[in-house]
Amino acid sequence: MNHRKTAALFGGLLMMLQMPALPCSAEAEPKLIALTFDDGPNTTTTNEVLDVLEQYNAKASFFLIGDNINDESAVSVKRAYDMGCEIDNHSKTHSNMAAMDADKVKAEIAYVDEWVEQITGEKTRFFRPPFIDVSDALYDAVGLPFICGIDCQDYMENVTAQQRADYIMNGAKDGVIVLLHDAAGNSQTVEALKIVMPQLVEQGYEFVTLTELFARQNETPREHILYSRVAKYPCSGYTLHKTVFSGNASGDQSAAVWQDAGVLDAAELEALGSSFAIEVKYSGANQPVLNLQRWSGTAIWHSVQPAYFNGDTACFLAEDILEALDTLGVGMTELDRLGIAPYSGSMEMTSVSILVKGGGAEALSGDVNADGARTVADAVMLAQYLAAERQTLPDAAAADLDGNSRLNAVDLTLLKRLLMQER
């Protein structure tokens, strides 16, 4: 770290120390949801979707097919952009692109970008591969973050508006991305939106663009990841209980290494109740999953998805594991094996740890952005919050350094002192 720059930064931060106290309330933070729409634009359904969004002052992200953009449909694109929506890339021709050569891929992306820049003055920021068809070559050629989302089956004519609404509501959780379609004539999705929008508002959701979702969740989009959810790191208040594996394990789902690396003790986890989490350090496009297996009696092979993953860290929460066991109708110790493995393709894993709730407040005090470390970025974020430039903080409790349940200039001063001591 450049100490001269650090000192200058804190000099600027100290000018903000006379600000009034602001309440520290993590509970008031809204849940975020990103509605996304594929296969437009057009002059009919796209506008009907925008009518519903406008009624709720909601923002969304639209993934355009280049061949659908013309002078008439461009008006709908401009309307969406002026409403605060984001305009993103779904290729020119909506072809299977995983096996396309790099030049053709780049031409598909550039065609949409040129139209969008002409309409909005900006290029696209995210890409959804047609048919969710991906490959390493496609990741490399596109150069944009890849987005998937929860499947609401709204591309199937026999799926009713209520069924589409149910898919949305059943999948709704903080940070989730919803995959929908505003293709011409897809009126059932418009009706589904009319059903779910008031319910989501009542449940405390805020509708955001993908760019805002990543920024508000304090995540930077990574390469070679297909995102369906952008969650906050959920284990900032946990401490290390035990390191289960440390080393290097790599391979695809069938590799023998997963029979030994990252195997967990069911009895130990059961004794921890609902207070634990499993943290996995890994690399690769494919996130890890926790496999619940039983081969005695009624065979079970069930994969629990991580509550959080970002390309190098994944976290499995006890509540998700226990919910899966309840659904399967088995107890933790009735399983023959609990082990980590890649979701698909290959993965390299360097550690598996059991974390437990509590006991880590002092160590993580000041980690305002909840990234697992206390840095200058935390002081900047707290300063922005006190200046009312941010409405929420990723971890308001960690910012309350004086422990009085209110955030003010004193907390910023204490954080500055901690960081100066650690230089």
For the question of residue 38 being annotated catalytic, the response is: yes
Q: Which of 38, 154, 367, 395 is catalytic?
A: 38
Does the domain at 367-423 match CATH 1.10.1330.10? Answer given as: yes
Per-position pLDDT tens, the chain of length 423: 444 444 444 454 444 333 344 444 444 578 999 999 999 999 999 999 999 999 999 999 999 999 999 999 999 999 999 999 999 999 999 999 999 999 999 999 999 999 999 999 999 999 999 999 999 999 999 999 999 999 999 999 999 999 999 999 999 999 999 999 999 999 999 999 999 999 999 999 999 999 999 999 999 998 888 999 999 899 988 999 999 999 999 999 889 999 999 999 999 999 999 989 999 999 977 789 999 999 988 899 999 999 998 889 999 999 999 999 999 999 999 999 999 999 878 899 999 999 998 754 344 578 877 666 788 888 888 888 888 766 567 777 778 776 665 788 877 887 877 777 666
In the chain, where does the domain assigned CATH 3.20.20.370 lie?
31-227
Q: Which of 113, 154, 181, 400 is catalytic?
A: 181
Q: Is the pTM of this model over 0.75?
A: no
Distance in angstroms (rounded) separating the CA atoms of residues 255 and 224: 21
Q: What is the CATH number of domain 31-227?
A: 3.20.20.370
In the chain, where does the domain assigned CATH 2.60.120.1070 lie?
238-357
For the question of residue 94 being annotated catalytic, the response is: no
Does the domain at 238-357 match CATH 2.60.120.1070? Answer given as: yes
